[in-house]
Structure 1
Amino acid sequence: MRRLIVVLLSLLLFFEGASASVLRDFLGRNVEIKEVKRIVAVGPGALRLIFYLKAQDMICGIEENEKLWEAVGKDYSMTKDFETIKTLPIIGPGGPGKPPVPELIVKANPDLIIMSSVLTEVYDPDRLQKETGKPVMVISLGPPGHVDMEVLRQTFKMLGSALNKNERANEIIKQLEGHVSDLSKRTRDIKTYPKVYVGAVSFKGTQPFTATQSPYPPLMWLNTPSIADKYARTAGFLNLDFEIFLKEQPQIVFIDEGNLNLVKQDFSKDPGKYCLIEAFKKGEIYGVLPFNYYWTNISTALADAYYLGKIIYPERFKDIDVVKKANDIFQAFLGEPLYQKFLKAYPGFVNLKMEFKCQ
């Protein structure tokens, strides 16, 4: 299936015609579009990519969840530009598994509907195209919580062609590839690793300490395994038995701050079991910013990766100021340094040992 997807994406075609162009989308559908000045994005993650491409001035309607959900933690919704689109007409409820509303999309009158591939599980793109009379282009951000470089590369190229944002699409691809390459080069010759675990990883709502992800993108870019990897039957999210932590004894623990309060509550009920874990006994507990919020926040995942690198391999990252690096990444992807805005809801890149005392 993966190979088929890559083949389909590699067949990206953009044929110039007298009055229209044909673009082959993620599903291999040939989508005929004319000049695009107005767009809507439906489904998890779709609007994020529009912001990455600096095409937010083309947006003519948004999903209702964008107006209702907490902004902090969802990278693009923390920008100043997001405030300018919150007054636009609603085109549907938004949110996982929620179908679009054709009648509302028609009222917004877009030239192109950009649809997340996730949404095709609940609504057929050809049906939406027929019901609205507007071309529907399906894009993909890869699996939830992951950063699939090949899929993203092709998706940005596809959107760049459709929205006349080729130069910006290439810039984003260069940024993404450059950071991932830098992270890998700093760590690729390391032979021995500390035992690391990232817990309370967000996925479809709040999750406990025992919830994690394998592979975890920031660790993967750092060529570093998680203690959870050998317990994962498939790639994705998993929940571990607490006994595994007592057996594996992670030396460094990171906690997704989107679920920090839940972990603190559980710790307060039975601190003894946590304090049997080496990382808790030695105070090697750190926070990371959540990046699974209405699909993968790519910029936040990259910022987290540099912080993890700084903690796990301080000598390899001694030249990195993690706050400055995070802001540089947010600036490159979204045009603003956002780290301080995260601090309105999360502790940020800090040691959390004072929250989990084992004395």
Structure 2
Amino acid sequence: MAHATQNRTITDAMQRQITIPSEVQHVICSGPGCLRLLTYLQAQHMIVGVDSIEVRGVDADARPYAMANPQFANYPVFGEFRGNDNPELVISLDPLPDVILKTYPEWGHDPVQLQQKTGIPVVTFNYGDLTGAQSDLYDSLRLMGKVVGKQERAEAVIAFFENTLEDVQERMATIDRPSRSACYVGGIAMRGGRGFESTMSSYTPFELLGITNLAAGSTRQPQASHAVVSQEQILAWDPACVFLDVSTSMLQPENNGLRALRKDPSYANLSAVQNNTVRGLLPFNSYTQNFGSILANVYYIGSELYPEAFHDIDPTEKADEIYRFLVGKPILGQLEQQFGGLVFQSISTSD
């Protein structure tokens, strides 16, 4: 690159030694969640192109990082989403990226081949999460921060996650385990919206709160978090504590989880339906996990189930505090508008 007078070597998630310019000015983000992490690092201005997910029009967008940066839709496209990069489009970008940042390197275009075809260094990252793969998330933030010169911000984001999780743990430490609720969450989005029977066997907000997830044993595959349970099983559980991913309310009638709760006579016998104690949650599975929405859900669930432990928390204010730090804007209002005012509300199950 004309502006790079020196190079440096880093080790990426695939344990490859990658030579990159000493000063990186331009990048592109390939793969689910990659541009989200770059936004967390306050370095989204460095991109020179986007993948196709950033320019497609949708009725409801559950990606706060993109909602806070509508300019992403105006960038040239270098390939299809989920890492299906087009080398010819990449090398047509002006200016060229100094580095290609790539999450989920096992998806889409092979990183080694992409680097060979474009002549541009490809740095890979393991996306991670806030539970079992926390170290991957923190390693990726640190590595990405090192690549783009945002090491200090990377440490600030990690500290924010750590402090937030510690705050939740301290609050829940005041609640005895036997008195914690057993809950079900339905309508979980997974590569698009799903019906009420769509759930997660390891629902992150429940895990972070230490509450029992009734669907925890609903899949035989330990690594398969998403699960579809039968209506019969939900009726047998008869959960008094029911949450609904509000993205399901945007679907056509045959897949709409909220409509099922309101119209299906079988569900009329559920205690939560009879007591009108179904509560709406933010979708967070949209181009992989949106960590801000996960944490916002944690505080809302905690406030609803354990008001004494979360007595000083206003969930809507907390959500915007989280979004403001991570993506730079308080965007909960936009999410509420998109999802019909159902976010963080007790949802009526009667017509």
Once the two structures are TM-superposed, the CA of residue 134 in structure 1 deviates from its matched residue by 0.3
Give the Cα–Cα distance (whole angstroms) in 1 for the partners of residues 8 and 226 of structure 2. Answer: 40
- Asked whether the 8 Å contact 2:182–2:241 carries over to 1, the reply is yes
Aligned residue for 1:274? 267
1:121 aligns with 2:116: no
1:66 aligns with 2:54: yes
Give the Cα–Cα distance (whole angstroms) in 2 for the partners of residues 73 and 194 of structure 1. Answer: 27
- Asked whether the 8 Å contact 2:261–2:273 carries over to 1, the reply is no
Aligned residue for 2:300? 307
**Please, which moves more after superposition, 342-351 or 250-259?**
342-351
Residue number among 260, 263, 286 corresponding to 2:249 in the alignment:
260
Amino acid at match of 1:77: A
* Superimposed CA distance per residue, residues 95-149 of structure 1 (whole angstroms, 9 cap, x where no aligned partner): x4x61001111122100000112x4233211100000000000112137x97731
Give the Cα–Cα distance (whole angstroms) in 2 for the partners of residues 54 and 243 of structure 1. Answer: 47
Aligned residue for 1:90? 77
Give the Cα–Cα distance (whole angstroms) in 2 for the partners of residues 52 and 77 of structure 1. Answer: 11
- Asked whether the 8 Å contact 1:59–1:85 carries over to 2, the reply is no
Matches within 5 A, 1:38-187: 38-70=26-58, 72-79=61-68, 82-94=69-81, 96=82, 99-108=84-93, 109-117=96-104, 119-142=105-128, 148-187=133-172
- Asked whether the 8 Å contact 2:33–2:127 carries over to 1, the reply is yes
Indicate how the Cα distance of structure 1 residues 357 and 203 shifts in structure 2: closer, same or farther if over 3 A, else same: same
Indicate how the Cα distance of structure 1 residues 120 and 25 shifts in structure 2: closer, same or farther if over 3 A, else same: same
Once the two structures are TM-superposed, the CA of residue 265 in structure 1 deviates from its matched residue by 2.8
Aligned residue for 2:253? none
Aligned residue for 2:337? 344
Q: Specify the SS of the correspondent of 2:123.
A: strand
Aligned Cα RMSD in Å? Answer: 1.8
* Superimposed CA distance per residue, residues 260-289 of structure 1 (whole angstroms, 9 cap, x where no aligned partner): 24113323442x211221111111100001
- Asked whether the 8 Å contact 2:12–2:18 carries over to 1, the reply is yes
**Amino-acid identity (%):** 29
Give the Cα–Cα distance (whole angstroms) in 1 for the partners of residues 57 and 291 of structure 2. Answer: 19
Give the Cα–Cα distance (whole angstroms) in 2 for the partners of residues 286 and 264 of structure 1. Answer: 11
Runs (5+) with no aligned partner, structure 2:
251-255
**Please, which moves more after superposition, 228-237 or 52-61?**
228-237
List structure 1 segments (4+ residues) > 4 angstroms apart after TM superposition: none
Once the two structures are TM-superposed, the CA of residue 304 in structure 1 deviates from its matched residue by 0.8
Once the two structures are TM-superposed, the CA of residue 212 in structure 1 deviates from its matched residue by 0.7
Q: Specify the SS of the correspondent of 1:31.
A: strand
* Superimposed CA distance per residue, residues 193-221 of structure 1 (whole angstroms, 9 cap, x where no aligned partner): 22211111100122111111121111111
Aligned residue for 1:283? 276
Amino acid at match of 1:202: A
Give the Cα–Cα distance (whole angstroms) in 2 for the partners of residues 312 and 246 of structure 1. Answer: 21
- TM-score of the two chains, using structure 2 as the length reference: 0.90
- Asked whether the 8 Å contact 1:27–1:138 carries over to 2, the reply is yes
Q: Specify the SS of the correspondent of 1:309.
A: helix
Q: How many residues align?
A: 332
* Superimposed CA distance per residue, residues 236-275 of structure 1 (whole angstroms, 9 cap, x where no aligned partner): 11111111122212111100001124113323442x2112
Amino acid at match of 2:77: I
- Asked whether the 8 Å contact 2:186–2:195 carries over to 1, the reply is yes
Give the Cα–Cα distance (whole angstroms) in 1 for the partners of residues 77 and 232 of structure 2. Answer: 47
- Asked whether the 8 Å contact 1:93–1:100 carries over to 2, the reply is yes
Once the two structures are TM-superposed, the CA of residue 69 in structure 1 deviates from its matched residue by 3.9
Aligned residue for 1:239? 228
Once the two structures are TM-superposed, the CA of residue 178 in structure 1 deviates from its matched residue by 1.1
Give the Cα–Cα distance (whole angstroms) in 2 for the partners of residues 147 and 141 of structure 1. Answer: 12
Residue number among 7, 11, 14 corresponding to 1:24 in the alignment:
11
- TM-score of the two chains, using structure 1 as the length reference: 0.88
